[in-house]
């Protein structure tokens, strides 16, 4: 009789295994990793690659030697299958080769469709709402925390992006592209701050051009660390089968995360940069930049911007310059000529960068040229920043960029640009 009841219980539980349970789950120790992926963009340009990313995350889970949880919100390309609606998928591995109580898929059985099939799921109809709407994002992040209460969270954001720039302007995407709609970075920072009671352990941007001082500064109250590239990110994204185990570690090896990303791009004959910002140090970096800009402001109009490492291509060319390389050039124009003197003169900025950028890696040299941008590894500090039209002739016609930067981006004031004498 007991055996019959046990068998019946197993059957009932198995039948419900693809639905997120209604009852409050027990809180798990350690970190839960969350992913917010948006593929509903022009012609589904990222759909194939984001699907592959989910498969790679699943592979990593299957290889974990400890139990852990992964939640993936996936906004599919309109009319796509197997997910007809935006869906929150939950995956739990026991650390013994099982995901959601089933042996890990492999070989020909390992497909996006199969991975979605075993996921515990919650669908969102959204109607006219979009995945970059702050209300929608907050709802999903709240649901994630209900599904998987945890000591802490790390967040992966995957989609198109264009750094600090305003969405729906100058062909910009800010973060996310859901049928052309985006969320601006100050608004994203507010969503994260309002959605989580504690700072996120990290935010990883699997998206273009997010590795800037402006982005890191906006996120300083929402996350401890920001992982991003200052350049455009190849569509393949991060190699999650390699990096996900690092993201579950109590003390994340951020240097290894950067190295794996850059090594993956090198293997695939691509380009790439990756850096990790300690967002708690962005105030200190802003102060160092502000002090040096004030000290050398008379030389700003003399800076030869063509001599500074820049990271943008196409319509985004000149959106971001290497922070330290800019001060090297500014120092030369200020009269600090000797290399030893120059290094000493910019030591305050270098010191602040050493604290703010805790890991970095890049593919440097002409073999990794991307649309005319060649990274000089000896000049790569990890992150970039915008140089306004008053001091940069290359953006003199970027009215929308400059106006939005001054009105909405906190770094503009924190770094002291607004205090400079423009005469």
pLDDT at residue 145 is higher than 90: yes
**Which structural domain range is residue 374 located in?**
282-356+366-419
State the pLDDT at residue 30: 86
State the pLDDT at residue 52: 97
Q: Say if 13 falls within a structural domain.
A: no
Residue 241, Cβ neighbours under 10 Å: how many? 20
Same domain, 272 and 287: no
Residue with tokens 């305003």: 166
pLDDT at residue 246 is higher than 50: yes
Q: Looking at 328-412, which runs of residues are DSSP E strands?
A: 357-362, 384-385
Same domain, 170 and 317: no
Q: Say if 3 falls within a structural domain.
A: no
Q: Say if 80 falls within a structural domain.
A: yes
The answer to whether 400 touches 413, Cβ cutoff 8 Å, is: no
Q: Which of 252, 279, 306 is the last residue of a domain?
A: 279
Percent of the chain whose predicted confidence (pLDDT) is above 90: 82
The CATH number linked to 244 is 3.40.50.11970
User: 107: left (phi > 0), else alpha (psi -120 to 50), else beta?
Assistant: left
Q: Where are the alpha helices (DSSP H) in 240-395?
A: 240-248, 254-267, 282-295, 323-333, 339-345, 347-356
State the pLDDT at residue 128: 61
Q: How many domains does the chain have?
A: 2
CA angle 298, 301, 302 (to 5 degrees): 95
pLDDT in tens, 323-341: 999 999 999 999 888 888 9
Same domain, 373 and 343: yes
pLDDT in tens, 352-376: 999 999 999 999 999 999 999 999 9
Distance CA 274, CA 79 (A): 34
User: 416: left (phi > 0), else alpha (psi -120 to 50), else beta?
Assistant: left
The two beta strands, 321-322 and 384-385, are antiparallel
DSSP conformation letters of 136-153: HHHHHHHHHHHHS-EEEE
pLDDT in tens, 385-407: 999 999 999 998 889 899 999 99
State the pLDDT at residue 285: 98
Question: 169 falls in which pLDDT band (50, 70, 90)?
Answer: low
Same domain, 63 and 203: yes
pLDDT in tens, 271-308: 999 999 999 999 999 999 999 999 999 999 999 999 99
Task: Give helix 282-295 / helix 347-356 axis angle, nearest 10°.
Answer: 160
Average pLDDT, rounded, for the chain: 91
Same domain, 130 and 182: yes
Average pLDDT over residues 136-164: 96
Same domain, 321 and 184: no
Q: 175: which 2 tokens?
A: 């973060």
Question: 118 falls in which pLDDT band (50, 70, 90)?
Answer: very high
Cα 151 to chain center, whole Å?
Answer: 21
Same domain, 337 and 202: no
Q: Which of 257, 279, 301 is the last residue of a domain?
A: 279
Same domain, 144 and 214: yes
Same domain, 209 and 286: no
State the pLDDT at residue 129: 74
Q: Which of 279, 304, 323 is the last residue of a domain?
A: 279
Among 15-24, 36-45, 272-281, 324-333, the range scoring the smallest mean pLDDT is 15-24
pLDDT at residue 257 is higher than 70: yes
Q: Say if 189 falls within a structural domain.
A: yes
State the pLDDT at residue 125: 82
Same domain, 83 and 53: yes
Q: Say if 22 falls within a structural domain.
A: no
pTM comes to 0.92
Distance CA 346, CA 331 (A): 7
Sign of the Cα torsion 170, 175, 181, 184 reads negative
Same domain, 175 and 125: yes
Picking from 72, 96, 56, the residue whose alpha carbon sits closest to that of residue 238 is 56
Same domain, 275 and 135: yes
**DSSP annotation of 163:** T
């Amino acid at each position: 009789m007991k055996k019959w009841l046990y068998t019946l219980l197993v059957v009932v539980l198995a039948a419900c295994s693809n639905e997120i349970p209604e009852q409050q789950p027990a809180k798990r120790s350690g970190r839960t990793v969350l992913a917010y992926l948006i593929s509903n963009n022009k012609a589904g340009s990222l759909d194939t690659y984001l699907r592959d990313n989910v498969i790679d995350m699943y592979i990593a889970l299957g290889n974990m030697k400890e139990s852990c949880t992964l939640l993936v919100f996936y906004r599919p390309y309109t009319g796509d299958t197997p997910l007809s609606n935006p869906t929150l998928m939950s995956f739990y591995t026991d650390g013994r080769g099982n995901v959601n109580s089933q042996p890990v898929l492999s070989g020909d059985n390992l497909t996006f469709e199969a991975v979605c099939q075993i996921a515990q799921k919650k669908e969102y109809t959204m109607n006219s709402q979009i995945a970059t709407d702050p209300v929608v994002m907050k709802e999903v992040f709240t649901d994630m925390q209900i599904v998987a209460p945890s000591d802490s969270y790390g967040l992966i954001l995957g989609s198109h992006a264009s750094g600090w720039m305003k969405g729906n302007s100058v062909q910009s995407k800010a973060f996310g592209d859901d049928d052309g709609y985006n969320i601006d970075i100050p608004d994203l920072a507010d969503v994260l701050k309002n959605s989580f009671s504690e700072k996120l352990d990290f935010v990883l941007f699997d998206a273009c051009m997010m590795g800037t001082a402006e982005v890191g500064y906006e996120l300083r109250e929402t996350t401890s660390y920001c992982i991003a590239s200052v350049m455009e990110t190849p569509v393949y994204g991060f190699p999650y089968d390699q990096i996900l185990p690092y993201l579950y570690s109590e003390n994340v090896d951020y240097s290894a995360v950067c190295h794996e990303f850059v090594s993956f791009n090198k293997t695939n004959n691509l380009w790439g940069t990756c850096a990790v910002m300690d967002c708690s140090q962005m105030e200190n970096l802003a102060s160092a930049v502000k002090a040096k800009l004030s000290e050398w402001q008379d030389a700003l109009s003399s800076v030869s911007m063509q001599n500074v490492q820049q990271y943008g291509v196409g319509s985004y060319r000149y959106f971001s310059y290497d922070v330290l390389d800019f001060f090297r050039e500014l120092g030369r124009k200020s009269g600090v000529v000797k290399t030893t003197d120059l290094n000493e003169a910019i030591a305050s900025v270098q010191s602040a960068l050493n604290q703010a950028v805790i890991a970095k890696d890049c593919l440097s040299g002409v073999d990794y040229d991307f649309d005319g941008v060649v990274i000089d590894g000896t000049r790569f500090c990890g992150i970039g920043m915008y140089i306004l039209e008053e001091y940069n002739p290359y953006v003199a016609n970027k009215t929308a960029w400059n106006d939005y930067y001054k009105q909405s981006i906190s770094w503009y004031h924190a770094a002291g640009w607004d205090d400079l004498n423009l005469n």
